[in-house]
Amino acid sequence: MSLATSARSETTKLFTTVMWWILALVLVVYVGMTAAGLGFVFSASATGALPGEGNGPQVPADGVAGVLYSIAASVGYVFPLLIGTLMVTAEFRHKTLTPTFLATPRRGTVLWAKAVVGVGIGAVYAVLAIIAAAGPAAGFLAGFGLDTDLASSDTWAMFGRIVLAFALWVLIGIGVGALVRNQVAAVVIVLAFTQFIEPIGRVAAAFVKGLDKVTQFLPGAASDALVGQSIYTSMGQSTGAAQLEWWAGGIVLLAYAVVLIVIGNYASWRRDVS
């Protein structure tokens, strides 16, 4: 079976299950609610409209739009990571991988097909996340009389980098799924790392001298660097923490994807399927 035929098969597998649209729905709700909440707080703070204004730090109006729009990636990146992981582990869990390998004996072709389809679903998730973040955020910015920056080429360049980041996150998820066959274990590892381990490490880097030079190479930090904006990088700028250039962030994120897929391919993907 050719790569194109295998990719069509993988597309059918993905879109005939409920997991892709359930994750997409949760992504939109999660990103949209976060963008709406922070959009109100940041916009009100930047215009001095918050109660008790003057008793705490005020958010600067310059650049606030970019930070709010970047919520699509800084909050939503876990969803393309999960869908990539589930694309592989679901086959092990439901034992559909045996007929897949019988139809396509070249296992590398199957993995490549998943990667091709994964890039596509990553782009779909990215567009949904951008709309979910930019819609309410731009609404609050405009409502408080602030510039939405939607006419800026820099904003649209950032949107393009978010699409790239989501595609890379799906590939990382595919690598994780190929390496960790057990679906529950893979999902737990993904959630534990993205929601606890890395965030704690990045916050600690603001207080431990020299730790930021290490945490900047973590996948989430690399993703934020690629996008060019995030709440984390805004905090880092205020503390002088080390940050990668956007192109370096993209290379680091790509390296994670390549290494995980290669290791997963040789360490687990080629093993016998029970």
pLDDT over 70 percentage in the chain: 91
Per-residue pLDDT at 46: 83
* End-to-end CA gap in the chain: 22
Question: pLDDT tens, 125-145?
Answer: 999 999 999 999 999 999 999
Question: Is 195 within 8 Å of 78 (Cβ atoms)?
Answer: yes
Q: Is residue 135 part of a domain?
A: yes
Q: Is residue 160 part of a domain?
A: yes
pLDDT over 90 percentage in the chain: 68
Per-residue pLDDT at 21: 96
Residue 272 has pLDDT above 70, yes or no: no
pLDDT tier at 10, thresholds 50, 70, 90: very high
Determine the Cα–Cα distance for residues 66 and 71; give it in Å rounded to an integer. Answer: 9
Q: Is residue 217 part of a domain?
A: yes
Question: pLDDT tens, 65-95?
Answer: 999 999 999 999 999 999 999 999 999 887 8
Mean pLDDT, residues 194-202 taken together = 92
Determine the Cα–Cα distance for residues 53 and 58; give it in Å rounded to an integer. Answer: 8
DSSP conformational letter for 205: T
Question: pLDDT tens, 222-246?
Answer: 999 999 988 877 755 545 567 899 9
Q: Which of 160-169, 197-206, 226-235 has the lowest mean pLDDT?
A: 226-235
Amino acid (1-letter code) at residue 118: G
Mean pLDDT, residues 53-72 taken together = 77
pLDDT tier at 183, thresholds 50, 70, 90: very high
pLDDT tier at 167, thresholds 50, 70, 90: very high
Burial of 174 (0-12, 13-18, 19+ CB in 10 A): buried
Residue 192 has pLDDT above 80, yes or no: yes
Residue 159 phi, psi dihedral angles, 5° rounding: -60, -40
Determine the Cα–Cα distance for residues 230 and 75; give it in Å rounded to an integer. Answer: 9
Other Cβ atoms less than 10 A from the Cβ of 157: the count is 12
Please report, for residues 13, 171, 223, the alpha-carbon distance to residue 108 in angstroms, rounded to integers and kept in the order given: 18, 14, 27
Question: pLDDT tens, 19-40?
Answer: 999 999 999 999 999 999 999 9
The total number of structural domains that make up the chain? 1
Residue 53 has pLDDT above 60, yes or no: no
Per-residue pLDDT at 240: 57
Determine the Cα–Cα distance for residues 204 and 247; give it in Å rounded to an integer. Answer: 25
Mean pLDDT of the residues in the chain: 90
Query: What domain range is 131 assigned to?
Result: 3-269
Per-residue pLDDT at 98: 76
Q: Is residue 274 part of a domain?
A: no
Per-residue pLDDT at 96: 83
